[in-house]
């Protein structure tokens, strides 16, 4: 995708700033819940609308950027809305609207405390996510990456139980340590090259560095972004963080934190090192092995989890490494599949987490073994869960089939057809840990369900919408936003540079 034009505009800054601007309004409205939630929804809609204005330019291969100020010689704090950044921002900002609606039903239905802090931190998290999406260089990426870490911490410990506090500490230890690795990688890179600006095909490609330098540098980068990407053995904070409220779990797994991690992996592979260096020094092999091990082990561990959110957490860990695998395979098709799976997995996984939250608020049940018969009293909720499960297993016509198909074609195109066995085996394992939940919900008799119905419409409506989007994107993948074409263009821009 040739870059046709670079323009200067305030729009990327406004995308980042709009939810930050809502934070003081949310805090000042703490005693007026309706007004507080109005500011949340208004900021979410405004952010998504601003991102939409950038989409036509991204589809044409254009970049919209703004340099805010110089941090030190050779490095500016720079926001650059390139096609990949706009793609990521579109998914995160769009799903924030639905998560905000869902949060109203969840927080009110569960009579949660400190709701104002919750909404304020959520807004900061989305600003940080937009900053990550539009970061024009490693320093800007790092700044927003660490802001996201800090802003998410109050959400992880929201319940303030002993379990939640422990989970929060573990989250900080892992993610802040990863941040230190990323800082070290950025400093070393700048010392070697004098630049940190992201460049399609990798700005290190012209550096002339040898393998003795590039291999440890690559490992530093992967340690930095791999924690949030859930790459094993850097993953264990993620299941522990399920102590957080379900909308936060949805934030962690579908909208912001872990997707920022895999977004970072794709930035490192495609825009820092580039496919030529990755192939030349065997860096792709390192990533392929890590991804394959994570995909299979996470799926096997998921089968042993009775707690629904923990089962979904391990499912997320496995599916994040589908994206990592797509980056590691280096072919245009594989990179496109990785980009596409960022979006399609987000819709499927947020549906499943929304479902888990609706069950918890409505029935106070958290374990798979307690879900017998609930499909008869919550048919919309469990119907959505069934759709999401089909998609994660890669069964048409749900969107997960499309992104997995493209990833499979990418494996063949890259000369690694044996990776197809990893994808197929993982799909079978996905079915093995998700389909029994659907069967239990609809076909086994339940107890203690008399007089129960669906959860609040504030919760059911968003999960039905995300499930329907999963189905619609499976039938017509380019519906609304031409996501497949944009992913293909991004993949061609990066993977096509391999000679």
Give the pLDDT of residue 495. 62
pLDDT tens per residue, the chain (499 residues)? 444 588 999 999 999 999 999 999 999 999 999 999 999 999 999 999 999 999 999 999 999 999 988 888 888 999 999 999 999 999 999 999 999 999 999 888 888 888 999 999 999 999 999 999 999 999 999 999 999 999 999 999 988 899 989 999 999 999 999 999 999 999 999 999 999 999 988 999 888 888 899 999 999 999 999 999 999 999 999 888 887 787 877 776 677 888 999 999 999 999 999 999 999 999 999 999 999 999 999 999 999 999 999 999 999 999 999 999 999 999 999 999 999 999 999 999 999 999 999 999 999 999 999 999 999 999 999 999 999 999 999 999 999 999 999 999 999 999 999 999 999 999 999 999 999 999 999 999 988 898 899 999 999 999 999 999 999 999 999 988 999 999 999 998 886 555 4
Backbone angles phi, psi at 426, to 5 degrees: -65, -40
Helix (H, G, I), strand (E, B) or coil at 71: strand
Check: CB of residue 389 under 8 Å from CB of residue 437: yes
What is the DSSP secondary-structure string of 229-261?
TT-TTS-THHHHGGGS-HHHHHIIIIISHHHHH
Angle at 255 between CA 382 and CA 102, to 5 degrees: 50
b/e for 320-337, b at 16 or more Cβ within 10 A?
bbbbbbbbbbbbbbbbbb
Check: CB of residue 277 under 8 Å from CB of residue 214: yes
Sequence-ordered list of residues with C-beta below 8 angstroms from that of 424, at least 6 positions apart, any chain: none
Number of alpha carbons in the 13 Å side-chain half-sphere of residue 274: 18
Sequence-ordered list of residues with C-beta below 8 angstroms from that of 21, at least 6 positions apart, any chain: 43
Integer Rg of the chain from CA: 21
Check: CB of residue 166 under 8 Å from CB of residue 174: no
Beta strands in 331-399 (DSSP E): none
The alpha helices in 194-236, defined as continuous H runs, are: 211-226
Angle at 19 between CA 223 and CA 87, to 5 degrees: 55
Element (H, E) at 8: strand 6-8
Quick one: which of 291, 496, 289, 293 has its CA closest to 413?
A: 496
Number of alpha carbons in the 13 Å side-chain half-sphere of residue 61: 13
């Amino acid at each position: 995708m040739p870059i046709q034009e670079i323009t200067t505009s305030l729009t990327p800054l406004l995308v980042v700033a709009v939810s930050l601007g809502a934070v003081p309004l949310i805090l000042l409205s703490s005693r007026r819940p309706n007004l507080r939630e109005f500011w949340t929804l208004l900021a979410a809609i405004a952010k998504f609308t601003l991102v939409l204005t950038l989409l036509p330019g991204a589809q044409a291969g254009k970049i919209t950027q703004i340099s805010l100020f110089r941090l030190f010689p050779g490095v500016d704090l720079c926001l650059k809305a390139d096609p990949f950044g706009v793609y990521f921002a579109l998914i995160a900002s769009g799903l924030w609207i639905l998560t905000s609606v869902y949060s109203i039903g969840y927080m009110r239905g569960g009579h949660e405390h400190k709701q104002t802090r919750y909404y304020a931190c959520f807004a900061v998290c989305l600003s940080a996510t937009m900053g990550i999406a539009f970061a024009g260089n490693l320093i800007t990426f790092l700044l927003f990456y660490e802001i996201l870490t800090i802003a998410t911490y109050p959400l992880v410990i929201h319940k303030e139980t002993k379990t939640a506090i422990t989970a929060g500490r573990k989250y900080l230890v892992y993610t802040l340590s990863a941040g230190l690795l990323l800082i070290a990688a950025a400093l070393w890179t700048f010392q070697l090259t004098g630049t940190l600006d992201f460049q399609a095909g990798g700005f290190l490609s012209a550096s002339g560095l040898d393998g003795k330098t590039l291999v440890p540098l690559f490992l530093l980068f992967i340690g930095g972004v791999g924690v949030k990407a859930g790459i094993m053995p850097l993953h264990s904070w993620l299941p522990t963080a399920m102590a957080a409220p379900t909308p936060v779990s949805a934030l962690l797994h579908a909208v912001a934190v872990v997707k920022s991690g895999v977004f970072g992996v794709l930035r490192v592979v495609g825009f820092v090192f580039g496919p030529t260096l990755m192939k030349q020094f065997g860096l792709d092999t390192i990533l392929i092995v890590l991804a394959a091990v994570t995909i299979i082990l996470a799926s096997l561990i998921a089968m042993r989890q009775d707690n629904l959110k923990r089962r979904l957490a391990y499912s997320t860990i496995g599916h994040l490494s589908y994206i990592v695998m797509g980056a590691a395979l280096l072919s245009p098709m594989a990179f496109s599949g990785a980009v596409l799976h960022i979006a399609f997995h987000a819709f499927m996984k947020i549906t499943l987490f929304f479902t888990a939250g609706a069950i918890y608020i409505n029935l106070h049940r958290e374990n798979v073994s307690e879900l017998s018969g609930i499909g008869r009293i919550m048919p919309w909720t469990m119907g959505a869960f069934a759709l999401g499960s089909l998609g994660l297993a890669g069964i048409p016509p749900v969107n997960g089939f499309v992104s997995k198909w493209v990833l499979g074609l990418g494996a063949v195109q890259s000369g690694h057809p044996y990776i197809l066995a990893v994808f197929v085996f993982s799909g079978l394992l996905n079915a093995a840990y998700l389909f029994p939940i659907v069967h239990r919900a609809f076909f086994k008799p339940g107890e203690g369900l008399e007089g129960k119905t669906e959860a609040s419409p504030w919760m059911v409506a968003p999960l039905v919408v995300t499930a329907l989007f999963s189905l619609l994107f499976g039938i017509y993948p380019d519906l609304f936003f031409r996501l497949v074409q944009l992913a293909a263009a991004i993949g061609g821009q990066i993977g096509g540079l391999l000679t």
